[in-house]
Amino acid sequence: MAFRPYLFFTGECRAAFNRYQEIFGGELFIMTMGEAPSDEPVPPEMADVVIHAALTVGGELLMASDDPTTTEPGPKQGIMVAYNTADPEDARTVFAALAEGGTVTQEPIQTFFAPVFAMCTDRFGIPWMVTADDPNQPSAA
């Protein structure tokens, strides 16, 4: 069994997932309404709406789509995507890339549970928690 984040965007899904691929690498799949099989024609203004995006990095999967039911941009609430790595320098690099154009809520710090811990909301409104795992502590993942 696996729990996987599925994010919703207000028209920025493609831009966000292209950015996430730049940061994390991996294989990116994006399908728009115009590309989806359908017996009905897609209205031109809906053709570029992303109905499914998937970024696969190693054995991890992050998925998303544009939410056609809302046009309200801004920070998403009630979620936070956690990125964990064994390498403190990788944590700092990933955090800096995610925070670029966004809002930092916790600068990278050393804590009792991690050599690097930081939080931000990226420029697409997605909250992130970045942690370098302490090799001397039991893994939370």
Q: Among 24, 22, 23, 44, which Cα is nearest to 33's?
A: 44
Residue 137 confidence (pLDDT):
65
Residue 140 confidence (pLDDT):
52
Q: What is the pLDDT of residues 113-140, one digit of tens each?
A: 999 999 999 999 999 999 998 777 655 5
Question: 124 is in which domain, residue-wise?
Answer: 81-132
Q: Look at residue 76 and tell me if it is in a domain.
A: no
Q: Look at residue 118 and tell me if it is in a domain.
A: yes
Positive or negative, the Cα torsion across 50, 105, 3, 25?
A: positive
Counting the structural domains of the chain, the total is: 2
pLDDT tops 60 at residue 141:
no
Whether 57 and 31 share a structural domain = yes
The C-alpha R_g of the chain, in whole angstroms, comes to 17
Mean pLDDT within 72-81? 75
Burial of residue 101 (number of CB atoms within 10 Å: 0-12, 13-18, 19+):
exposed
Q: What is the pLDDT of residues 18-72, one digit of tens each?
A: 999 999 999 999 999 999 888 888 899 889 999 999 999 999 999 999 987 766 7
- Tokens coding 117: 């811990």
CATH number of domain containing 54: 3.10.180.10
Q: Look at residue 116 and tell me if it is in a domain.
A: yes
The pTM (predicted TM-score) of the whole model is: 0.83
